[in-house]
Amino acid sequence: MFLRRLLTRIATTLVTLLGVAVIVFAVIRIVPGDPVAMMLPPGATEADIARLNAFYGLDKSIPEQFFIWLGGVVQGDFGTSITTRQPVLGLVLSRLPATLELSVMALVIAVVLGGLVALTGTRLRYTRTEGALDVANGMALSVPDFLWGLVLILLFGVLWPVFTISGRVSPNLVPEFATSFFLFESVLRLRFDLWLDLVQHMLMPALALAIPLAAIIGQLLKQSLKETMHLDYVTLARTKGYSENHVILREALRNAVLPTLTLIGVQFTFLIGGTVIIERLFSYEGLGNMAIDAVINRDLPLIQGIVLLFALLFTLVNLAVDLLYAVLNPRLRHA
Amino acid sequence: MSFLKIRDLSVILRGTNHRLLRGVSLDVGATEVMGLVGESGAGKSMIGKAVLGILPRSARIVGGSIELDGVDLLTLPPRQRRHLIGQKAALIPQDPLTALNPARRIGPQISDRLVDILGWDKARARARAEEILHDVHIPQPDRVLRAYPHELSGGMRQRVLIASAFAAEPRLIVADEPTTALDVTVQKQILKLIFEMQARHGTALLFVTHDLGVVSKICQRLTVLYGGLVMEEAEVGAFFEAPRHAYSRALLAATPRHTDPTADLTPVPEAVIAEARRAVAEADQRWHA
Ligand SMILES: Nc1ncnc2c1ncn2[C@@H]1O[C@H](COP(=O)(O)OP(=O)(O)OP(=O)(O)O)[C@@H](O)[C@H]1O
Ligand SMILES: [Mg+2]
């Protein structure tokens, strides 16, 4: 039963990814802009251009190009970046950890902030504090992540420069690690100086990504907590002598989290999408920043590789949410 | 001596001066079963909720006292009040389908109060939970302790809730229409179980119901409520022989007899309702003065 569900899931994921690949492949070839012409110095001959076009397979028809590309992908070859002349897979994988670390950090901040807002709002419901929190939450919600990025740069980069707002790590600290998960590996290697430097770089972009999501989580979780607080089992727990805090945390929270969880999944994929602009804004060397360069340079193979990876990430996030939902909901676990 | 002693309790709808309870006084003796009857909206549940400290936010106590074992709950600070209620009283709720937390196993939902409020150690509380499940005639108590609520039928869940109410040996139990949400076929068994447990533990019981037939069989005394006002309070024997109050007589006439369910029922006559309304209005006048 579980196996069948998993297989169906994998199959739909593959179809989705294929669809994404087809669309991206077609779109980036239809929009104007010739990658080869952009790469060559002015005054290159027709012959030069033709030679490079042939080298990258751009002289063939789009369907032909697609099947050649797909044939490579199946064997783990995502082609060669036009601008850097390096294998796309290697490039993309070298940047992926930076983006993952940033996204996960943003998610953690969002969940903690949003959770605190919801719990405080529930604990202090019907008071003025609740109203104030609601207003603040609404403001956080109505400003998109990149504007928060600009605000944070102005505040903590310019007016009161306590955080580094550019790059991923200080140049003198760039580590020689086995993976590019610097934040993670620096903890394993007990390099706390490096860890602190990474966090300092990451905090502002992560916060910019996190604030809108925190607001959404805060709003939905509070709504759902307030509804749960009226349920009979919560009332029954009160008669047992339990305090308001206890009742919120042990009786209501776990049931209230379920509807929020699905939303976090969807929103987290938006957040990952948001890294593209935020990384650019903070010159953070991640996948998103690389994606913008790739688009500017019409680096077709690289764009395809990045988009496919993003799509894969999104589906994995959704899968993780489904699994977590099943774990948290006893009704599904036993079904 | 009465274990629960309510005096002149008034509850208003917050933000208005409309009273939901109009100076209710009521006593429940230490091992007594007190029936609380009255038509829908009379305020039966409000009384139970006030005693247990779970009035909805929209309702506010504005006068009177609720003494539990000689201590006035309304003068205690919230924390102590909660603790006292948790130690000495318990609720058997109306709807077993919604009164258990779907995300928690049955075992801890029975034993949590023993550990957290009464300070028992975990092993003892677990053993007690198993024992009390056995007492309410649940087969394989150890399996049920590990189950989640959705794995049990409605009747089983109500048994669990009864067990949970009696687990801490409370001195008072409030049962608010504990069988109306159940299948008719199990209603009788559950009623029987509640009174069996009450008799065995010698617990005071405040029994909220619409069913005068049940009251006549089970309760020692009863209180008739109309519009948040006590119409009559009487010994059950005397009441069913000759209710003093016209409203009580009308209520009795409007109730199906178990001995003769086909007999014609007389709806409460207009004149009686008018008189009850007048009593309510007079009480309000005195109160507002
Ligand atoms: N949450 C609430 N907010 C405001 N008023 C309420 C609330 N619950 C009940 N009331 C009102 O309080 C009065 C007493 O209600 P209560 O629930 O005690 O009636 P009851 O006698 O238990 O009736 P029933 O037999 O239908 O359960 C009613 O007039 C009702 O409308
Ligand atoms: Mg009621």
pLDDT confidence of residue A16: 87
Pocket of ligand 1 (CB under 6 A): B 13, 20, 38, 40-46, 56, 58-59
Q: A241: which chain B residues are within 8 Å (Cβ-Cβ)?
A: 82-83, 85-87, 113, 116-117
pLDDT confidence of residue A332: 65
Say what angle helices A300-328 and A2-30 make with each other, to 10 degrees.
Answer: 150
Q: How many CB pairs under 8 A join A and B?
A: 70
Here the tokens at position B217 are 């069989």
Let me know whether A116 and A220 are in one domain.
yes
Q: Given CB atoms, is B91 within the 8 Å cutoff of chain A? A: yes
Let me know whether A209 and A323 are in one domain.
yes
Choose the closest CB to B101 out of A233, A238, A331.
A233
Condensed to tens digits (0 to 9), the pLDDT of residues B161-193 reads: 999 999 999 999 999 999 988 888 899 999 999
pLDDT confidence of residue B63: 93
At residue B207, does pLDDT exceed 90? yes
Residue A30 lies in a domain: yes
pLDDT confidence of residue B269: 82
Residue A109 lies in a domain: yes
pLDDT confidence of residue A335: 44
Choose the closest CB to A331 out of B52, B85, B150.
B150
ipTM computed for the complex: 0.93
Let me know whether A67 and A99 are in one domain.
no
- Whether A241 sits inside 8 A of B57 (CB atoms) is no
Q: Given CB atoms, is B52 within the 8 Å cutoff of chain A? A: yes
Here the tokens at position B198 are 């009450």
Let me know whether A136 and A258 are in one domain.
yes
* B90/chain A closest Cα distance in angstroms: 7
Residue of A nearest to B167 (CA): A240
Question: Which residue's C-alpha comes closest to atom 17 of ligand 1?
Answer: B45
Let me know whether A114 and A21 are in one domain.
no
Arithmetic mean of pLDDT, A158-176: 86
The CATH class for the domain spanning B2-288 reads: alpha beta
pLDDT confidence of residue B259: 61
Choose the closest CB to B100 out of A233, A243, A334.
A233
Here the tokens at position A276 are 């593209």
- Spatial separation of the C-alpha atoms in residues A38 and A33, rounded to whole Å: 8
Ligand 1 mutation pick, B10, B19, B21, B45, max ligand atoms within 8 A of CB: B45
- By percentage, how much of chain B surpasses pLDDT 90? 76
Here the tokens at position B31 are 């091992």
Fill in the DSSP letter of residue B256: P
Phi, psi of A205 (to 5 degrees): -60, -35
Provide the CATH number for the domain around residue A296. 1.10.3720.10
Q: B181: which chain A residues are within 8 Å (Cβ-Cβ)?
A: none
Let me know whether A19 and A149 are in one domain.
no
Taking the mean position of all CA atoms in its chain, how far away is CA A302? 19
- Whether B150 sits inside 8 A of A330 (CB atoms) is yes
Residue A245 lies in a domain: yes
The Å distance, Cα B20 to ligand 1 centre, comes to 8
Residue A89 lies in a domain: no
Q: Given CB atoms, is B112 within the 8 Å cutoff of chain A? A: yes
Phi, psi of A225 (to 5 degrees): -65, -45
The Å distance, Cα A211 to ligand 1 centre, comes to 43
Arithmetic mean of pLDDT, B18-32: 96
Question: Which residue's C-alpha comes closest to atom 18 of ligand 1?
Answer: B43
Residue A25 lies in a domain: yes
Let me know whether A188 and A285 are in one domain.
yes
Condensed to tens digits (0 to 9), the pLDDT of residues B55-74 reads: 999 999 999 999 999 999 99
The answer to whether B65 and B11 have CB atoms below 8 angstroms apart is no
Taking the mean position of all CA atoms in its chain, how far away is CA A213? 11
- Spatial separation of the C-alpha atoms in residues B155 and B97, rounded to whole Å: 9
Residues of A with CB under 8 A from a CB of B: 126, 231-233, 235-243, 246, 251, 254-255, 328-331, 334
Q: Given CB atoms, is B22 within the 8 Å cutoff of chain A? A: no
Q: Looking at the CA of B46, which ligand is closest?
A: 1
* A161/chain B closest Cα distance in angstroms: 47
Domain final position from A74, A105, A120: A74
Residue A85 lies in a domain: no
pLDDT confidence of residue A203: 94
Count of domains forming chain A? 2
Condensed to tens digits (0 to 9), the pLDDT of residues A218-236 reads: 999 999 999 999 999 999 9
Condensed to tens digits (0 to 9), the pLDDT of residues B214-231 reads: 999 999 999 999 999 999
Instruction: Provide the pLDDT confidence category of residue A61 given band limits of 50, 70 and 90.
Output: confident
Ligand 1 mutation pick, B46, B49, B207, max ligand atoms within 8 A of CB: B46
pLDDT confidence of residue A316: 86
Instruction: Provide the pLDDT confidence category of residue B9 given band limits of 50, 70 and 90.
Output: very high
Residue of B nearest to A334 (CA): B151
Choose the closest CB to B86 out of A126, A233, A239.
A239
Let me know whether A117 and A52 are in one domain.
no
- By percentage, how much of chain A surpasses pLDDT 90? 53
Residue A119 lies in a domain: yes
pTM above 0.90, yes or no: no
Phi, psi of B36 (to 5 degrees): -120, 110
pLDDT confidence of residue B258: 60
Looking at the CA of residue B44, tell me the nearest atom of ligand 1.
21
Q: B101: which chain A residues are within 8 Å (Cβ-Cβ)?
A: 233, 237, 251, 255
Residue A292 lies in a domain: yes
What is the layout of strands, in order, in the sheet containing B221-226? B89-92, B172-176, B204-208, B33-37, B221-226, B229-235
Let me know whether A130 and A273 are in one domain.
yes
At residue B271, does pLDDT exceed 80? yes
At residue A10, does pLDDT exceed 90? no
Burial class (CB in 10 A: 0-12, 13-18, 19+), A27: exposed
- Spatial separation of the C-alpha atoms in residues B255 and A113, rounded to whole Å: 57
Choose the closest CB to B103 out of A236, A242, A254.
A254
Let me know whether A56 and A161 are in one domain.
no
At residue B141, does pLDDT exceed 80? yes
Q: CA dihedral in degrees (B75, B77, B78, B81; nearest 10)?
A: -60
Domain span at residue A205? 95-332
At residue B143, does pLDDT exceed 70? yes
Arithmetic mean of pLDDT, B150-160: 94
Nearest to A310 by CA among A321, A300, A302: A302
How far lies B207's CA from each of A106, A325, B136, B222, in Å? 54, 40, 19, 9
Element (H, E) at A134: helix A128-142
Condensed to tens digits (0 to 9), the pLDDT of residues A289-312 reads: 999 999 998 898 899 999 998 888
Let me know whether A67 and A175 are in one domain.
no
Let me know whether A180 and A233 are in one domain.
yes
Q: A238: which chain B residues are within 8 Å (Cβ-Cβ)?
A: 52-54, 82
* B56/chain A closest Cα distance in angstroms: 9
